[in-house]
Amino acid sequence: MTEGKKHTFHHALKIVEEACIGCIHCMQVCPTEALRVRNGKAVLMPERCVDCGECMKACPVNAIIVEQDDFHNIFQYKYRVAIVPSVFIGQFPRNIPTREIYSGILESGFTHVFEAEHGARLLGEEISKYQKEHASLKPVISSFCPAVVRLIQVKFPSLVENIMLLKAPLDIAAIAYRKKLVESGVPENEIGVFYITPCAAKIAAVKSPVGESQSPFNGVINMNFLYNKVFSIINRSDRKSCQVPDKEQLRDTEMLWSLTNGETGFATGRSLAIDGIQNVTEFLEDLENDSIGVFDFLELRACDQGCAGGILSVANRFLCAERLRNRANDYIKESRNLNTYAGTVNTFKDYLLENIGLEPIKPRAAFALDENMDTAMKKITRARILYSHLPAIDCAACGSPGCKALAEDIVQERAAITDCVFIQKLMLIHQDIKPDQSFDMVEKVWGKKKFADIALKKDDI
């Protein structure tokens, strides 16, 4: 799916309508105001969603889920490659060796295992070169986190040109391993490369990639799903033997790449690492307003502690980060020569460098009120007038995230001024509407069931 076509993003996050209770937890934490409540259920505005997963974390009834490809899809291919992020290794207790985790992945159905961070060293070498070649571009913003890339496209379009046009380590690793198998004589149509993802944004990035016409992956498997599968294999009481996997050694810096500050060490000049989507959003607002000075490189991650905090993680993010740092320290102690570098990525380095670039990334003006500038300006003016008549307390009782969002929804004909309960109260006082009309207006937002439930609880009092 090419980005140039006019379409909405693919979204891995899905709302299970039957389970949704119509609270506003998800709506309150969304950094792009992509959620509304209508008829008592959460409704997604797909053009605004960046798949950061904040809504899923906030939902009290697990009504928001992350879709994945059917695991059995891997068996469509004779050669089944699992591209695994290092944080997957960090999900397991330290007393379970990495090689045993690899073995469990192979026994689950894959034929090959390769860690995504094998692509990090090559990318790390290219970051400073990219900065030098784009010296007038400050700051260069990492393209590692797809939720952040989409956030910039949607909410900060003026910063799109600052996004570094280099592929992430997982893509480099996937391209390299596919090349390795093809060079060994394996027919390309028999190779299936699957990413084991810690977050929803990377699923969306595989299904509708940004900056490339096609993803190097054939599918995506949720990390929590594979973790449970592998953990049960490793701890199976009747397990008599295990497959011994081939394993290429990661360096310590590569093991830590997906954690916060894992990338800044490869950049030159004044660099800063920020994690957490709300922190990133606040920082980008200041950056866009030229209120924080000049930076050379920004590493921005949507999740706290980087990928260790992904919504598909099983382990506590701080424990995961600690395990990866311990793994990196063990490597430093055991390695005699940290400069030695041989492996799949190095073997195909020239080929990978030819394919490491991304196409220019385009903004997606999801917050624009109209494509026509004159019409948009008129709508902006009207929205400001409407906002001045609203209470400005952002109670969200109207089903929109706040008063400003409601004013924009009214202009876009997604809502009405009477959705505001304060406006309704004034209209009742002035007898512009009748009580039953007011009730119907509220019911439109919150649904009949909500009031039926309240009535039942009242009877119990």
pLDDT over 70, % of the chain: 93
Distance CA 308, CA 311 (A): 9
Instruction: Band the pLDDT of 338: cuts 50, 70, 90.
Output: very low
d(CA 89, CA 256): 12
The region of weakest confidence among 307-321, 337-351, 370-384, 434-448 is 337-351
Say how far apart CA 261 and CA 271 lie, in whole Å: 10
Structure tokens at 285: 């607002």
- At 358 the pLDDT is 95
State how far the alpha carbon of 112 is from the alpha carbons of 74, 109, 186, in Å: 12, 9, 13
For the chain, the helix, strand and coil percentages under 3-state DSSP, each to the nearest 5: 45, 10, 40
374: how many CB neighbours lie within 10 A of its CB?
8
Phi, psi of 221 (to 5 degrees): -120, 130
pLDDT of residue 339: 47
Is it the case that residue 74 has pLDDT exceeding 80?
A: yes
Spell out the domain ranges in the chain: 13-66, 71-354, 373-460
Position 354 pLDDT exceeds 90: yes
**117 has pLDDT over 60:** yes
Q: With cut-offs at 50, 70 and 90, classify the pLDDT of residue 461.
A: low
Lowest mean pLDDT segment, chosen from 9-18, 101-110, 221-230, 335-344: 335-344
Compute φ and ψ for 80, nearest 5 degrees. -115, 110
Fold classification of 13-66 (topology level): Alpha-Beta Plaits (3.30.70)
Query: Looking at the predicted structure, is the pLDDT value of residue 108 above 90?
Result: yes
In the numeric block, which tokens belong to residue 436? 């039953």
Q: What is the mean pLDDT of the chain?
A: 90
Find, among 388, 401, 412, the residue nearest to 35 by Cα: 401
> Residue 1 has what pLDDT?
32
- 369: CB partners within 8 A, 6+ apart: 375, 376, 379, 380, 383, 408, 411, 412
What is the model's pLDDT at position 240?
A: 62
Q: What is the DSSP-derived secondary structure letter of residue 300?
A: E
Residue 456 has pLDDT above 70, yes or no: no
Percentage of the chain modeled with pLDDT above 90: 75
pLDDT of residue 244: 66
Beta bridge partners of 140: 297
- d(C-alpha 148, C-alpha 52), whole Å: 8
Q: What element of type H or E holds 15?
A: strand 13-15
Distance from C-alpha of 140 to C-alpha of 299, rounded to nearest angstrom? 9
Give CA–CA dist 324/389, Å, rounded: 53
Nearest to 36, CA basis, from 28, 27, 23, 48: 27
Q: Indicate left, alpha or beta for 29 from its phi (over 0: left) and psi (-120 to 50: alpha).
A: alpha
Separation of alpha carbons 64 and 269, rounded Å: 41
Residue 293's pLDDT is 85
How would residue 145 be classed by pLDDT, with cut points 50, 70 and 90?
A: very high
Count of H-run helices and E-run strands, the chain: 18, 11
Does residue 87 contact residue 187 with C-beta atoms inside 8 Å?
A: no
Q: Which residue has the higher pLDDT, 434 or 182?
A: 182
The predicted pLDDT at position 248 comes to 86
Burial annotation 281-317 (CB, 10 A radius, 16+ → b, else e) = bebbeebeeeeeeebbbbbbbbbbbbbbbbbbbbbeb
In the block, tokens 């701080």 appear at 318
pLDDT one-digit tens code per residue, 276-332: 999 999 999 999 998 888 999 999 999 999 999 999 999 999 999 999 999 999 887
Strand partners, 66: 13
Task: Please give the backbone phi and psi of residue 193, each rounded to the nearest 5 degrees, phi first.
Answer: -110, 125
Query: For 105-109, 243-247, 445-449, which range has the lowest pLDDT when averaged over its residues?
Result: 243-247
Helix axes 435-460, 421-429, angle to 10 degrees: 110
> Quick one: pLDDT at residue 439?
83
Q: How confident is the model at residue 202 (pLDDT cuts 50, 70, 90)?
A: very high
- Owner of token pair 């954690």: 259
Query: Looking at residue 171, what is its pLDDT?
Result: 96
